Amino acid sequence: MDHAAALGGAERILLLLMEGLDRDRFAPHLVAPRGPLGAAARQRGVITHEMALPRLGGEPTAPWRLARAALPLARLMRRECIAVVSPHSVRASVYAATAITLARRPLLWYMHEPGPPGLYRRWLNARSAVAVAVSFAVADQMACSRKLRVIHNGIRWQDFAADHRESAARLRSLWGVPGDAVLIGQAARLQPWKGQREVIAAAEILLRERPDVYIAIVGGDVFGDAVHYERELKAEVVRRGLAHRVLLTGHHEDIPAVLGALDVVVHASSGEPFGTILLEAGAARLPIVAYESGGVAEVLTHEVNALLVRQGDRAGLAAALLRLVAQPDLGRALGQAAHARVRQHFDVRRMVQDVQDVLQVLVQGVGHPRSDGERA
């Protein structure tokens, strides 16, 4: 289950997971609103049930919304003989934890981010048979004790190691970036915690030394909750006098092409739960500069396969980027080391196998769930 219709990082991981499950053992179903996520799941042979999961936080009608969706969700679980329910977003987990009470199914609470503290976490912990966190950084914020498993995200690294020069050249042309210019890029949906402001501030420092460099901030308001933030970023670029070199490109679905267009990747998130884009950049052999925040240190090591900077150190971020611009050989070495790290530790097959092991234990405990029409 996922409340999002669009494709963010967690949704891309969910697609890889559903696609990779052994179909002789598991039949994945997706519950999500109508949109790109459901369409992509159907293309991968996943049975998809379109269902809106409206916003709950701060809504006076939240109890009504929750009950209105939980009843059909429980009926769906019984009708389709669902054995295990696994929400992959905070909002979806609230709906799922309510529906399983009616359908009597085990909950695999899959945490791409920790969610709000307090009652939410205690309630989900009580409702879950098993909890999976995508990093130790996320796990450290939970209180699931023996229920908790850490399963790092994985990717199909070959998708990013392939030749994307043609599509990458089209993107650079679309953005107005010369083919021989150095292009530094951040790829993340527009959210304050993703650190677009940090990149803009670092770009101002960097461009004083290297006015020939371009910086692309790749990402859009994919979930429809950052309209004001997008306007603020555009205004800040203009206010700092950077519009000739700092490009807000909007959302792009083709991440391999985006990475193919870049020379350096910058990642400036605050409290990053994991950072799948780091795996994708590593698979593409790109040098990476990142804030050493949250789960980033579980993926990358400073001076070994990336340059890591203390969170909030904008001058340090700019200095690390300048170092890679001035030392392309260092960038190539770091990119190659990041590629090796991703291949060895973050292959999608490892992630899928780890999740299948958890699912198998849960399924064995449930047995064969009956549909509404079956007799006991």
The strand pairing partners of 49, in sequence order, are 31
pTM confidence score: 0.92
- Helices 62-79 and 90-103 pack at an angle, to 10 degrees, of 60
Pair 109, 122: CB distance under 8 Å: no
Q: What is the DSSP string of 136-152?
A: HHHHTT---GGGEEE--
Query: Is domain 158-345 classified as CATH 3.40.50.800?
Result: no
- Residue 306 is given by DSSP the state B
Cα–Cα distance measured from residue 306 to residue 330, given in angstroms and rounded to the nearest whole number: 10
pLDDT tens-digit profile, the chain (376 residues) = 999 988 888 999 999 999 999 999 999 999 999 999 999 999 999 999 999 998 887 788 888 888 888 999 999 999 999 999 999 999 999 999 999 999 999 999 999 998 888 888 889 989 999 999 999 999 988 866 678 999 999 999 999 988 888 999 999 999 999 999 999 999 999 999 999 999 999 999 999 999 999 999 999 888 877 889 999 999 999 999 999 999 999 999 899 999 999 999 999 999 999 999 999 999 999 999 999 999 999 999 999 999 999 999 999 999 999 999 999 999 999 999 999 999 999 999 999 999 999 999 999 876 555 544 443 2
Other C-beta atoms lying within 10 Å of the C-beta of residue 28? 19
Amino acid at 227: V
Q: What is the DSSP string of 337-353?
A: HHHHHHHHH-BHHHHHH
SS3 content of the chain, % helix, strand, coil (to 5): 50, 15, 40
Q: Please, where in the chain does CATH 3.40.50.2000 lie?
A: 9-154+348-366, 158-345
In the chain, the largest separation of any two C-alpha atoms, in whole Å, equals 75
Cα–Cα distance measured from residue 227 to residue 234, given in angstroms and rounded to the nearest whole number: 11
> What pLDDT is attached to residue 30?
98
Q: Are strands 214-218 and 183-187 parallel, antiparallel or unpaired?
A: parallel
Cα–Cα distance measured from residue 87 to residue 59, given in angstroms and rounded to the nearest whole number: 21
> What pLDDT is attached to residue 374?
42
Top-level class of domain 9-154+348-366? alpha beta
The long-range contacts involving 302-308, CB below 8 angstroms and separated by at least 24 positions, are: 304/334, 304/337, 305/334, 305/337, 305/338, 305/340, 305/341, 306/278, 306/334, 306/338, 307/334
Pair 259, 282: CB distance under 8 Å: no
> What pLDDT is attached to residue 28?
97
Cα–Cα distance measured from residue 339 to residue 12, given in angstroms and rounded to the nearest whole number: 20
> What pLDDT is attached to residue 373?
44
